[in-house]
Amino acid sequence: MIVPLIILLLITSLKCVSSQDGLTELIDIYSENITLEWKDLPISVCEISTTTSSSSTTSPIKTELPLYKCADETYMGLYCNITNDVCERYHPCYNEAICYSNGTIELQYSCACKTNEYSGYDCENDNRICKNNTCLNGGTCFIRNISITNETPYVCICPDGYTGTHCETLINMCFNITCENKGLCIPSLLSWSCHCLSPTLYSGTYCEDISTALAVKQILSKSFVSVAIAAITAVFIFVVTMDILKYVFKIDPVDRERQAMKKKQEKKQLEKKKKKHKSVKDLHEPSLKQCRLYPIVALGITLNHQVADAHSYFQLIKDWTQLYKNLQYQPNVCHQRSLLEPALEEIQLLKNSNPDFNYRRSLYFREEISSSAQQTKQTIIKIFRFTADELNRMKTDAITHLSSDITYLSTFEVLTAHLYQHVMLARNYTTSSISKLYISTNIRPRLTQSFIPSTYFGNAIMLSYLEMSMLDIIDKNSFSLLASKIHKSIEKNTVNDIRTTLAWIMCQTDKTKIIPTWNLDEKDFTISAWNKMGIYSNAEFESNVHPCRVILPQDMKMNGAAILLSTEENDGSIDVYLGLDINEMKQLEENLDFRKHSKK
């Protein structure tokens, strides 16, 4: 995938650090095109100077892990506890079909369909006219008794509020509604509501009521103009009066003050002459103690995201700190790329068992790569710090209206829902448009069948995917529902889906043409969480000396994206690096609901 580089800057106060401490040993172990740059920044009260020392680059070297073979060939895995039975491992049959294992046939299994309404080797084809998902939103499906030209063989009887062939369209109740004061009409089932630009300033069914505070401000703004005009008039009359007194009647109202100022200036000149005749013995050389040096070290580490992900990035930093403290330290690093490369037999099996094998929701193969167009939007990155208390209040708000099928929401899922909702509100697209959310997901702990160690150094990221209508995203009453859907989208990134995506990637001839399906400059959004990777705690080059700040580079550019980092307090607070169009960022910050949970 073509994504930005991972670049961080660590700043800490170290007393005696050499640029070579552990650097050579680290390069020998992490041999994956790494560039380590060391900068010593001795900061002085008097002046600031910068010196740069060594920069090293390595070439790739791969280390293969030993392969294991079980005594009982019906099992596999490192502990020989995973069955080789195709039916038990993959459950390849669809639509409640029965799976029979048969080692004598090519695919080693066969499926017995529940009824003759299903077909296909895996009973994956549903030939029923009225399927479970033919009519949506509670619609009832009926088979037509008479065939009508250019009509479907079925008809959906839609419940109130929905229309369309499949009852897929919510009737727009806003077609004749006009919200005042730039309010936004949001349709819902058999109803509608006006979302006011600022609930604290406008209210009412049509946002027609102006708050007392805003009315007072409007009156004061008009009064201010009147006061300003009166003040200017008074000053003008005063100046004219002073000129008339001086030049017509020969009266100088400020003559006394002018004479006093003249005497004061003469006194200052006299004192300055006396100082010039002072003895040189009274002068002292400047003390060196007045200028103290404070050593600060900036570490810039750059990794290509195609080679390694954030998990590997912080693994490298942790091992570097250990090598700095002890050169005898032996990092445990896995470079076995074959762990993410399914065997040909598995690829063929996944192809046959998945009719949507060539359709990946988060990735696609672009045949022609045109020259990248210049970015038309002017973007900006801002840091928003969400305190632990603010996140707890946000989480409490989300779980208050939680549906019965969801028992838990993480802080990440709630914060993602909050950011996604308010970014889409700031972008102000039509409620009928579709938006997609992409969540970076570490697959190391998810691939339990083909074990991948946590020390695997490489890119082991898949994108969890969620697609929703803009109407459902920006509805302020659907915050809990949005967080629940994000929770489910991460759960849907199952082992089978991950292995299928890996197999699909292996089938592409030119992997440089594999790109995400997102359009982040428009309606889509992506988020990545680095806040639980020990950014500060795992970067101790000296005992109990954490970095005083971890930041992203100032020249980094991104749009429709957020990166979560932990804070130097290590108290559960989160720094959100958010990149948006400048105008969209302004709309976001003007929305008072964006930081409503920060209130005590």
What CATH number corresponds to the domain at position 414? Answer: 3.30.559.10
The predicted model gives 547-558 an average pLDDT of 76
In degrees, to the nearest 5, what angle opens at C-alpha 207 toward C-alphas 205 and 209?
100
Q: Which residue range forms the structural domain that includes residue 102?
A: 75-152
> Lowest mean pLDDT: which of 143-157, 159-173, 451-465, 564-578?
143-157
Within a domain: 246: no
What CATH number corresponds to the domain at position 80? Answer: 2.10.25
- Inform me whether the pLDDT recorded for 13 exceeds 50: no
What single string gives the DSSP state of each residue in 96-108? TPEEEE-TTSTTS
- Inform me whether the pLDDT recorded for 447 exceeds 90: no
Within a domain: 571: yes
pLDDT score for 576: 94
- Inform me whether the pLDDT recorded for 456 exceeds 60: yes
pLDDT score for 62: 39
| Per-chain mean pLDDT for the chain | 79
Within a domain: 38: no
Q: How many domains does the chain have?
A: 2
Buried-exposed string 502-523: b where 16+ CB fall within 10 A, e elsewhere = bbbbeeeeeeeebebebebeeb
pLDDT score for 21: 53
Within a domain: 292: no
Within a domain: 464: yes
Within a domain: 499: yes
Within a domain: 252: no
The predicted model gives 169-191 an average pLDDT of 89
What pTM, to 2 d.p., does this model score? 0.56
Q: Show which of 133, 152, 171 is a domain's final residue.
A: 152
Taking a C-beta distance cutoff of 8 angstroms, is the pair 560, 580 a contact? yes
Within a domain: 264: no
Q: Show which of 152, 182, 204 is a domain's final residue.
A: 152
Virtual torsion, Cα 275, 281, 282, 283, nearest 10 deg: 90
Convert the pLDDT of each residue in 108-166 to its tens digit: 899 999 998 899 999 999 888 898 888 998 899 998 887 777 788 889 999 998 999 99
Convert the pLDDT of each residue in 420-441 to its tens digit: 999 999 998 888 899 999 999 9
Taking a C-beta distance cutoff of 8 angstroms, is the pair 580, 379 a contact? yes
d(CA 45, CA 293): 7
Q: Show which of 136, 152, 168 is a domain's final residue.
A: 152
Of 439, 289, 254, 455, which Cα lies nearest the Cα of 362? 439
Q: Which amino acid is at 218?
A: Q
